């Protein structure tokens, strides 16, 4: 007697947050998912849970959204900013899967000296790309200036960094500020004994 083949399970994904309908309540914004769940997945949640908290319909949800859009934020000089500022703020903040917000990287250049085989060392320069510097061009210039090998590699955090052969950690600060005036000396830090120390 052969066993019957099981049919694959059809998963109903939410059109708002992209999670399976059963997991919408754990998503980033369950309130926005409720109208979609009422229309497309009526049997997943009890009616009391999916019903809107104010007891109204989708129109009420839209009205609240419009009111929130119209609210302005007043700045220090007394002027209020509305839609344009919020749009640029939304571009600045990126959302990761699961609704987590991605923090914007701090603009700083970190220089670290790594010792290999007791005598040889490598100077690592991280963060130049945050100032609009092309890393491939920067590695060529560093290699020519200090007559060493320099390459762009991915670091342990999957971000690109420049590895320069030799101990040039203190000479590289002046070179960076002279070559790229957009990089201020106050934004350059050294990693010494596991601590971040300002170069200036």
Local mean pLDDT, 10-residue blocks, the chain (200 residues): 78 87 84 86 73 54 53 47 47 60 74 85 89 89 91 86 87 88 86 79
For the chain, the average pLDDT equals 76
User: How much is the pLDDT for 163?
Assistant: 92
pLDDT at 79: 47
> What angle in degrees, to the nearest 10, is found between the helix axes of 135-146 and 171-179?
130
The count of other CB atoms within 10 Å of the CB of residue 54 is: 10
CA dihedral 88, 94, 98, 99 (to 10 degrees): -30
Q: What pLDDT is recorded for position 87?
A: 46
CB 158 within 8 A of CB 168: no
CA 132/CA 91 separation, integer angstroms: 18
Which residue is it, tokens 């600045």?
Answer: 92
What is the value of pTM for the model shown? Answer: 0.48
pLDDT of the residue at 6: 86
The per-residue pLDDT for 52 is: 55
Q: Which pLDDT does position 54 carry in this prediction?
A: 47
Exposure b/e, 118-139, CB count within 10 A at least 16 = b:
eeebbbbbbbbbbbebebeebb
List, as own/partner pairs, every contact residues 153-162 make where C-beta atoms lie below 8 angstroms and the sequence separation is at least 24, other chains included: 155/124, 155/126, 159/126, 160/129, 160/135, 161/124, 161/125, 161/126, 161/135, 162/124, 162/125, 162/126, 162/128, 162/135, 162/138
Cα separation, 125 vs 170, whole angstroms? 12
């Amino acid at each position: 007697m052969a066993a019957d083949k099981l049919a694959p399970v059809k998963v109903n994904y939410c059109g708002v947050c992209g999670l399976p309908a059963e997991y919408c309540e754990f998503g980033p914004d369950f309130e926005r998912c409720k109208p979609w769940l009422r229309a497309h997945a009526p049997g997943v949640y009890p009616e009391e849970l999916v019903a809107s908290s104010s007891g109204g319909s989708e129109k009420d949800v839209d009205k609240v959204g419009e009111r929130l859009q119209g609210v302005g934020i007043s700045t220090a000089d007394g002027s209020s900013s509305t839609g344009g500022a919020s749009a640029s703020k939304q571009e600045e903040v990126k959302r990761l899967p699961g609704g987590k917000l991605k923090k914007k990287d701090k603009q700083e250049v970190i220089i670290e000296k790594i010792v290999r085989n007791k005598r040889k060392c490598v100077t690592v320069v991280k963060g130049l790309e945050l100032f609009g510097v092309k890393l491939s061009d920067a590695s060529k210039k560093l290699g020519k200036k200090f007559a060493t090998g320099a390459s762009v590699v991915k670091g342990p955090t999957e971000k690109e960094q420049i590895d320069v052969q030799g101990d040039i950690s203190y000479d590289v600060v002046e070179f960076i500020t002279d070559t790229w005036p957009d990089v201020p000396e106050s934004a350059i830090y050294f990693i010494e004994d596991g601590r971040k120390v300002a170069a200036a």
